[in-house]
Amino acid sequence: MPEQAALSGIGVCAGVAAGPLLRIAAVPALPPPAPVADVEAEVGRAVAALAAVVAELTRRADRATDATVAEVLRAEALMADDEELRDGVREHIEDGKDAVHAIDAAFAAFREMFEAAGGYLAERVADLDDLRDRAVASLLGLPMPGVPQPGHPYVLAARDLSPADTADLDPGQVVALVTEVGGPTSHTAILARALGMPAVVTCPGILDVADGTLVLVDGATGQVGVGVDEATAEAAIKAAETSAAAAASLTGPGETSDGYAVKLLANVGSAKNVPAADEAHAEGVGLFRTELLFLDRAHEPSHAEQVTAYREVFAAMAGRRVVIRTLDAGADKPLPFLNQEGEPNPALGVRGLRIARQRPEVLTTQLAAIAEAREGIDVDVWVMAPMVSTVTEAAAFAAAVHDAGLPKAGVMIEVPAAALRAADLLKVVDFLSIGTNDLSQYTFAADRMCGALADLLDPWQPALLQLIGICGEAGRQAGKPVGVCGEAAADPALAPVLVGLGVTSLSMSPRALPAVRASLAGLSHDDCKRLAGLAVAAPDAAEARKLVS
């Protein structure tokens, strides 16, 4: 690569940072096969290595301060703790393989099976590779592969990052992320936003850059300057810091320059996330992810456990709005107690509200717990269901919410069918909340984890914006709120476009709130509508971004 070059990718978390580039540590190489003298002892070594991986991932999940990080780590730990995986390892050892090669063979078999299954399971292949590498490292007595710890700030480069890698990121050292693959809705992108770290994905050529090369990363434009001089890097960072300081100085309710109100809300998974939301002056919670209470459980949480967890968030958000989402399980968030194995394509199967078709008591218990948790607290609780496709589903859910004694029922817009019938949905529910990650996936038939299709998952895609506009217009006509709680809400350049399309609230990682608040404050409502028109009329996402900027 030339001494100075410019690489391009997809910016997934705004911000500017510079530092020497370091690549993620290499995976351990397999040693030559060794004879097995004692089968049971060898099985014990292999099982102990898998248990060490589970323990390490669980420890990282427990210490993670971000609920999203904890969620993906626990999901990966469940995979390493799979009984069928251990059985496969034993079979290979009984066939003569040593522990290291038995683990490698067992994971290879699972990898082939997952790839053949497609859908959700195909998305988890990278997690299998990471688990295999960690188990092999444990057996060989080597450090588990992961993020460099050089003792100074740097830019981390990788083909992609596993959940375990991202959990170890120290923002005091890792100043930016750049990956060769991945998309706007990949785990890397979501976790980068949760950490507030500039990030660029789908950046070809980044692994050809030599370690130690000074790079300048712009997480908004997706540009990565390679071999820049220190003066250029310092000037870019200073300009970004000045802009961030100006944004942070703005407080109060979200609004455009001419006073058009846009509620700015925070996404949370538990009461642990509330302090960050308060620090960012969030006006409430736009997405309370209740599934985090369920994910690491072999059995459904009891009514009392749910009441306690919900009440903690309600009490911390007293006097404000909390939009709580009912269980969003299935697809990339399987739950053992639901026994959902065997679906040919889980992303198109029984997930979200559809679980109530098979297990209605799960929803009934959750709604009763939410109703009890809000008793005696001055909090404005709204309840919404994920994966709603029809007016019939929406009406049934709204009836269940109201039967539980809860005043506000809404639905998430995650499939095109729901967006197209937004006006009809608003005849039976009180509000809509758009989940742009899944809406992108289903609109473009592009798997959220497929880096090769990252351009189709760009939230600036005009077709996606057009669907959002249908929802916004339906809300305006009905006089009911329409929010966005997907990752698109965190983009300060896209926020005015969403408002121009009729969105009345934006919910995001607390770290993103200051920049979004400042972006809206600098434009009038008419400006927002004009920019929305430009973006929807653009031929593609890249041109939409260019026209708006």
* Active site residues per annotation: 187, 485
Answer positive or negative: Cα dihedral of 428, 433, 438, 444.
positive
**Alpha-carbon distances of 402 from 1, 382, 406, 409, 512, rounded to whole Å:** 62, 11, 5, 7, 33
The C-alpha atoms of residue 119 and residue 24 are separated, in whole angstroms, by 27
223 three-class SS: strand
Looking at residue 172, its amino acid is: G
Query: What's the per-residue H, E or C state across 111-161?
Result: HHHHHHHCHHHHHCHHHHHHHHHHHHHHHHCCCCCCCCCCCCCEEEEECCC
The C-alpha atoms of residue 406 and residue 416 are separated, in whole angstroms, by 28
Residue matched to tokens 């904890």: 70
Residue matched to tokens 């997934």: 12
* Alpha helices by DSSP H, 326-459: 355-358, 360-373, 391-403, 416-420, 422-425, 436-444
The C-alpha atoms of residue 349 and residue 347 are separated, in whole angstroms, by 6
Spatial strand order in the sheet of 16-23: 5-8, 223-226, 214-218, 16-23, 154-158, 174-179, 199-201, 10-13
The C-alpha atoms of residue 168 and residue 163 are separated, in whole angstroms, by 9
Provide the token pair at 541.
């996402």
Give residues with Cβ within 8 angstroms of 440, minimum separation 6: 184, 185, 446, 448, 456, 457, 458, 459, 461, 464
Residue matched to tokens 């990052």: 161
**Alpha-carbon distances of 423 from 146, 352, 391, 430, 482, rounded to whole Å:** 48, 22, 10, 11, 11
Looking at residue 377, its amino acid is: I
* Residue closest to 443 by CA, chosen among 475, 419, 426: 419
